[in-house]
């Protein structure tokens, strides 16, 4: 009893009593401190560690979810950095920031060389023809692989040592690499068979991509998608899979149109894969920049991918071989194929006629092309599965934007009014680079150089305008001097120089000439002709040599000829021009993509009265037409003279052509027709 009372006294530990342990009453004693100093911290430590482990054990599912989330975030972060980093852009397009700066410096050097070249050649113009007579040649580079402008150089001596040749070749190769830069993606490589030099005066100018970027303060690389997501086309193609068949990658109408279709499909949320039958051309880097997936294999892999797609669109008659193999491999795949044929020559029909009646439908560019192909089908007893569709090409958003036509790229900063002002500045800058004055009428023709495009006939007509652009008093003077029309150039000039001092200032012929020269209203502009596309993979080398040979025989005409490389940056060329010539021969142009592009920039079009051109160009309204072949040369020359004399008529025709483009040939018009085609393809699958 006494023991219990002692335990209940004040100061005693009730806890230790209940635990069955005896604790000293004096907590400050050494024994108490020694026995109990570390108990409480150890217990707290064990409880905190054990509590955390217990929490992890009881929430193991939450822990794994957290780890999976962190791992997924890390994966997306790495993928995003790879997809949007500068190094990746360099890997796909072949250029980065530093090469771009290098290219600007190189281009400025080339521009100075261009001006120097032009000045040096101009000083020798008076003696050019005399040098031709005595056998001397003036070698001016028409095109050089990888460079924008090439200066004239004298032919190297045959005694040059092999070591110096290797050194100069290596130096040229180094300069070539430093000059590529940004323009590499916009220009095709030069065909090795095309001669680098010729014996005529012909100046290679452009491309002017850097000038466009500087003045417009915008470039196609800044595009972030141009899809109208409220339109029927976007709703129809969203999340669907498309396979597009490219026959080649040259910078011509068919590959460019297919590339822009692929871009629009991607912008509207579709999945797009491209099959390239021939990598001939310079669009591969552009496809990579637009993130268009190109299948490496054009056989088994492409067939299997096409079978999983909703629609297969082939963009040329040349795709016949791929379509035939695909249908043989997967017979059911024929109902997926929409064949967009962009050629209008019999040879293309012959190579594709065996599969025309096996595909789902045919698509043509113009009414005349559709009628021609259906006529050939009737001759060969070919019955098509369905009626052909008609989808004309359109002016893409980038060119419409620069031309000042409302497009999806317009913003408050880049309104149509602002773009019209910038286009005028671009015109002035580019014409200055070409050494053109306000008195020069620049006529351009941009296409592959081959007999079907009629560049030689154009040069013949332009030559007759340039070499025979004489005032009436000049003709009368020639008659009085007894100068024959067929007399060669040098004897004619010598005879005139001998007899001119005999004429006095009071001669009525001289007075008449002075009056006309002082009357600016009666003076004609001088004609300049720019021809592209130098270096295109679609050029015919023998035909190019024929053009050079013609210019060698017509030195006066050669002074009025400019050349430009194959490029996708054509807005600067359209802005600098005063008229456009499309001189396609045979059955004429299938449609004429360049025709509507020129009309969008307010240019009158001079074209052949055949094919799609006669459907687009209204004679005496939006331009002037002439017959095909050499008989049309006389009328073509007359049309060029008429435009030279009538600047106001050029302007009026250009305005009418621009209105027609806005009404019929913009992007929304083309994709509205594509909606009908896609609906038909999907309906009976």
d(CA 221, CA 569): 12
Summarize pLDDT for 163-178 with one digit per residue, the tens: 444 444 444 444 433 3
| Phi then psi dihedrals of residue 553, to 5 deg | -85, -10
Nearest to 103 by CA among 215, 218, 251, 208: 208
Sole residue written with tokens 């771009």: 100
Mean pLDDT, the chain, as a whole number?
Answer: 75
**Is the pLDDT at 88 greater than 60, yes or no?**
no
| End-to-end CA separation in angstroms for the chain | 103
> Over the stretch 508-528, which tens digit does the pLDDT of each residue have?
334 333 333 334 444 558 999
How far is Cα 195 from Cα 320, in angstroms, rounded to an integer? 34
pLDDT tens digits, 609-622:
999 999 999 999 99
Six token digits for residue 157 = 């001596």
Q: What is the pTM of this model?
A: 0.69
**H/E element holding 244?**
strand 241-246
pLDDT value at residue 510: 43
Residue 483's pLDDT band, with cuts at 50, 70 and 90, is very low
Q: Which residues pair with 170 in a beta bridge?
A: none
* pLDDT at residue 350, as a whole number: 96
DSSP state of 290: T
pLDDT of residue 81 exceeding 70, the answer is: no
Q: What are the tens digits of pLDDT across the range 134-153?
A: 333 333 334 333 334 333 33
CB 468 within 8 A of CB 485: no
Calpha distance 107→181 (Å, rounded): 9
Q: What is the pLDDT of residue 530?
A: 96
Q: What is the pLDDT of residues 552-585, one digit of tens each?
A: 999 889 999 999 999 989 999 999 999 999 999 9
Q: Is 171 exposed, middle or buried (0-12, 13-18, 19+ CB in 10 A)?
A: exposed
pLDDT, residue 411, reads 82
pLDDT per residue as tens digits for the range 184-235:
444 454 444 444 444 344 689 989 999 999 999 877 666 656 788 888 999 9
Contact predicate 302/271, CB 8 Å:
no
* 464, two tokens: 């007759």
Q: Which residues, other chains included, contact 92 with Cβ-Cβ below 8 Å and sequence gap of 6+?
A: 285, 288, 289
When mean pLDDT is compared across 21-30, 244-253, 374-383, 655-664, the lowest value belongs to 21-30
- Domains by residue range for the chain, with CATH: 232-394+673-682 (3.40.50.2000), 415-468+524-665 (3.40.50.2000)
Residue 328: pLDDT over 80: yes
The torsion angles phi and psi of 455, rounded to 5 degrees, stand at -65, -35
pLDDT 10s digits, 420-473: 999 999 999 999 999 999 999 999 999 999 999 999 999 999 999 998 754 344
pLDDT at 662 over 70: yes
Q: What is the mean pLDDT of residues 126-141?
A: 35
Rounded CA separation 142/193 (Å): 13
Residue-wise DSSP of 535-580: T-TT--HHHHHHHHHHHHH-HHHHTTEEEEE-BS--HHHHHH-SEE
Whether the CA torsion 664, 667, 672, 674 is positive or negative: it is positive
Query: What token pair was written down for 212?
Result: 């466009």
Distance (Å, whole) CA 217 – CA 414? 9
């Amino acid at each position: 009893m006494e023991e219990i009372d002692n335990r209940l006294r004040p100061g005693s530990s009730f806890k230790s009593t209940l635990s069955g342990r005896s604790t000293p009453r004096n907590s400050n004693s050494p024994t108490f401190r020694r026995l109990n100093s570390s108990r409480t911290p150890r217990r707290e430590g064990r409880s905190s560690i054990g509590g955390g482990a217990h929490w992890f054990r009881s929430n193991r599912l939450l822990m794994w979810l957290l780890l999976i989330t962190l791992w997924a975030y890390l994966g997306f972060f790495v993928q995003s950095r790879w997809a949007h980093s500068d190094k990746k852009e360099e890997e796909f397009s072949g250029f980065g920031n530093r090469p771009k700066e290098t290219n600007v410096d190189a281009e400025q050097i080339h521009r100075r060389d261009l001006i120097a070249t032009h000045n040096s050649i101009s000083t020798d113009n008076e003696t050019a023809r005399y040098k031709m007579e005595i056998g001397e040649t003036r070698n001016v580079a028409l095109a050089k692989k990888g460079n924008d402008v090439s200066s004239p150089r004298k032919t190297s001596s045959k005694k040059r040592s092999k070591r110096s040749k290797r050194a100069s070749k290596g130096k040229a190769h180094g300069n070539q690499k430093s000059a590529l830069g940004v323009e590499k993606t916009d220009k095709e490589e030069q065909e090795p068979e095309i001669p680098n030099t010729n014996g005529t005066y012909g100046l290679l100018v452009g491309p002017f991509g850097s000038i466009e970027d500087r003045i417009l303060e915008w470039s196609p690389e800044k595009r972030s998608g141009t899809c109208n997501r409220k339109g029927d086309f976007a709703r129809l193609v969203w999340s669907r899979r498309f396979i597009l068949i490219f026959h080649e990658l040259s910078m011509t109408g068919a590959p460019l149109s297919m590339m822009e279709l692929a871009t629009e499909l991607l912008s509207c949320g579709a999945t797009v894969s491209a099959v390239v039958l021939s990598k001939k051309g310079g669009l591969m880097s552009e496809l990579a920049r637009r993130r268009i997936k190109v299948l490496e294999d054009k056989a088994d892999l492409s067939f299997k991918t096409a079978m999983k797609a909703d629609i297969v669109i082939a963009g040329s008659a040349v795709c016949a071989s791929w379509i035939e193999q695909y249908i043989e491999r997967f017979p059911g795949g024929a109902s997926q194929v929409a064949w967009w044929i962009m050629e209008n020559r019999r040879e293309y029909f012959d190579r594709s006629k065996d599969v025309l009646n096996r595909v789902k439908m045919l698509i043509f560019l113009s009414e005349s092309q559709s009628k021609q192909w259906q006529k050939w089908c009737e001759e060969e007893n070919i019955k098509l599965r369905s009626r052909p569709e008609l989808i004309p090409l359109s002016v893409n958003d980038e060119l419409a934007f620069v031309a000042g036509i409302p497009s999806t790229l317009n913003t408050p900063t880049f309104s149509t009014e602002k773009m019209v002002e910038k286009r005028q500045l671009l015109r002035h800058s580019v014409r200055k680079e070409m050494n053109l004055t306000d008195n020069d009428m620049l006529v351009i023709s941009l296409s592959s150089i081959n007999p079907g495009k009629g560049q030689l006939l154009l040069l013949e007509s332009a030559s007759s305008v340039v070499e025979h652009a004489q005032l009436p008093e000049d003709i009368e003077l020639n008659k009085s001097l007894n100068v024959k029309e067929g007399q060669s150039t040098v004897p004619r000039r010598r005879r005139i120089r001998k007899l001119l001092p005999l004429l006095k200032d009071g001669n009525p012929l001289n007075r008449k000439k002075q009056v006309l020269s002082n009357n600016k209203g009666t003076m004609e502009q001088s004609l300049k002709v720019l021809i592209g596309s130098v270096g295109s993979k679609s050029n015919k080398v023998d035909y190019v040599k024929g053009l050079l040979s013609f210019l060698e025989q017509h030195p006066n005409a050669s002074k009025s000829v400019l050349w430009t490389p194959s490029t996708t940056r054509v807005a600067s060329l359209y802005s600098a021009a005063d008229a456009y010539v499309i001189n396609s021969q045979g059955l004429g142009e299938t449609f004429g993509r360049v025709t509507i592009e020129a009309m969008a920039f307010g240019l009158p079009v001079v074209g052949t009265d055949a094919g799609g051109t006669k459907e687009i160009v209204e004679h005496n309204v939006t331009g002037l037409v002439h017959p095909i072949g050499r008989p049309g040369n006389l009328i073509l020359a007359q049309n060029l003279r008429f435009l030279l004399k009538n600047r106001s008529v050029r302007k009026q025709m250009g305005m009418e052509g621009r209105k027609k483009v806005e009404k019929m040939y913009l992007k929304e018009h083309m994709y509205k027709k594509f909606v009908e085609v896609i609906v038909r393809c999907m309906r009976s699958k």
